Amino acid sequence: MYVCVCRAVTERQIEAAVKDGARHLRDLRTELGIIEDCGRCARCAKQCMDKTIEQMGPPPHPKSGAAILLHPAR
């Protein structure tokens, strides 16, 4: 289904962008160009994004006791 008619962006393209890391409408705007013209797609794009995030489930957590390197060693 087309979500953004102005830019010919589909629901599948939004799902792919979310799976690649998009988490905000601004991410979708940067990656796909949506919401830049008339803006009517914003609500549907947000719903598609939220649905995909929900289906993906929570992000994996590091194993208990695993060290997380925040800054590279020098």
Q: How far apart are CA 70 and CA 74, in angstroms?
A: 12
Q: Is residue 72 part of a domain?
A: no
Mean pLDDT of the chain: 89
Total number of domains in the chain? 1
| Positive or negative torsion for Cα 61, 53, 38, 9 | positive
pLDDT at 15: 97
Burial of 38 (0-12, 13-18, 19+ CB in 10 A): exposed
Secondary structure of residue 32 in the 3-state scheme: helix
Domain that holds residue 15: 2-56
Rg (CA), the chain: 16
Q: Is residue 73 part of a domain?
A: no
Give residue-wise pLDDT tens across range 14-36.
Answer: 999 999 999 999 999 999 999 99
Q: Is residue 47 part of a domain?
A: yes
CATH of residue 11: 1.10.10.1100
The model carries a pTM of 0.76
Reading the block at residue 22, the tokens are 């998009």
